[in-house]
Amino acid sequence: DAKTTQPNSMESNEEEPVHLPCNHSTISGTDYIHWYRQLPSQGPEYVIHGLTSNVNNRMASLAIAEDRKSSTLILHRATLRDAAVYYCILRGAGGTSYGKLTFGQGTILTVHP
Amino acid sequence: EAQVTQNPRYLITVTGKKLTVTCSQNMNHEYMSWYRQDPGLGLRQIYYSMNVEVTDKGDVPEGYKVSRKEKRNFPLILESPSPNQTSLYFCASSLQGANYEQFFGPGTRLTVL
């Protein structure tokens, strides 16, 4: 399985942008890059995903490197409610490879008022 | 409301007493998965199911069983629980394929004495 590497923790100030990096140097051509976050005492929730092009939704933006070996989740204006653990995972599109998923430990984001 | 439900939410049991944690989704999703979460280890996949009657092992399947007799339900069975299975368990579901987000349940906190 292709694995991802994320920093253990990051800090930000409220209302500032946050860039959360993820390295996935062994990504295959059909792997989608997914981001989830887990707020304290809750189950993980979906944030965004992409394949090759940058993606935007109401929660965040996803910037994918041209060689796809890394990606960055961008929170444009961090709020206190964005304090969570952020997970970057790969989900393979080839055959049944989308089934097995490895989450890793994620990045703990702390947002200061 | 589209959701994944888990029961029970909290359970304290003793070593060796068989138990089942239920998971149900109302989104007609083909894919379902079980994870456990332990401090310092992040989310680890136990089993997953691509569709009815199709299940496969994740990274930590030892000591667990699953079944997928109906599309909406994916119970997790611990035939003989041990203290090292004390953990927080999450069920998730998604449409079939890598281009879809997973929806997570609220979690089941299991303590095995």
Above 80 in pLDDT, residue A95?
no
Position A100 confidence tier, pLDDT thresholds 50, 70, 90: confident
Q: Looking at residue A2, what is its pLDDT?
A: 61
Tokens at residue A5, please? 């590497």
Q: Which residues pair with B4 in a beta bridge?
A: B25
Q: Could you tell me how many CB contacts below 8 A there are between chain A and chain B?
A: 67
Tokens at residue A104, please? 């890793």
Could you say which of A34, A45, A96 has the minimum Cβ distance to residue B104?
Answer: A45
Burial class (CB in 10 A: 0-12, 13-18, 19+), A95: exposed
List Cβ neighbours of A41 (8 Å cut-off, separation of 6 or more): none
Strands B87-94 and B103-104: antiparallel
Above 60 in pLDDT, residue A1?
no
Q: Report d(CA A61, CA B67) in Å as an integer.
A: 37
**Residues in chain B within 8 Å Cβ distance of A87:** 42-43
**Residues in chain A within 8 Å Cβ distance of B102:** 34, 36, 44, 46
Kindly report the nearest CA distance between residue A64 and chain B, in angstroms.
16
Q: Looking at residue B109, what is its pLDDT?
A: 97
Tokens at residue A96, please? 């049944």
Half-sphere exposure of B59 (CA within 13 A, CB side): 15
The predicted-structure confidence for A57-70, as pLDDT tens digits, reads as follows 999 999 999 999 99
The predicted-structure confidence for B14-37, as pLDDT tens digits, reads as follows 999 999 999 999 999 999 999 999
- The string of DSSP codes covering B75-113 is -EEESS--GGG-EEEEEEEE-SSTTS--EE---EEEEE-
Q: Report d(CA A46, CA B2) in Å as an integer.
A: 14
- The string of DSSP codes covering A41-66 is TS--EEEEEESSS-EE-SS-EEEE-T
The predicted-structure confidence for B75-106, as pLDDT tens digits, reads as follows 999 999 999 999 999 999 999 988 999 999 99
Question: Is the CB of residue B99 less than 8 Å from the CB of residue A49?
Answer: yes
- Beta carbons of B56 and A43 less than 8 Å apart: no
List Cβ neighbours of A38 (8 Å cut-off, separation of 6 or more): A44, A45, A84, A85, A87, A106
Above 70 in pLDDT, residue B13?
yes
The predicted-structure confidence for B31-47, as pLDDT tens digits, reads as follows 999 999 998 888 999 99
- Beta carbons of A103 and B40 less than 8 Å apart: no
Give how far the C-alpha of residue A28 lies from the chain's centroid of Cα atoms, to the nearest Å: 17
Q: Looking at residue B71, what is its pLDDT?
A: 97
List Cβ neighbours of A27 (8 Å cut-off, separation of 6 or more): A2, A33, A68, A69, A90
Kindly report the nearest CA distance between residue B88 and chain A, in angstroms.
10
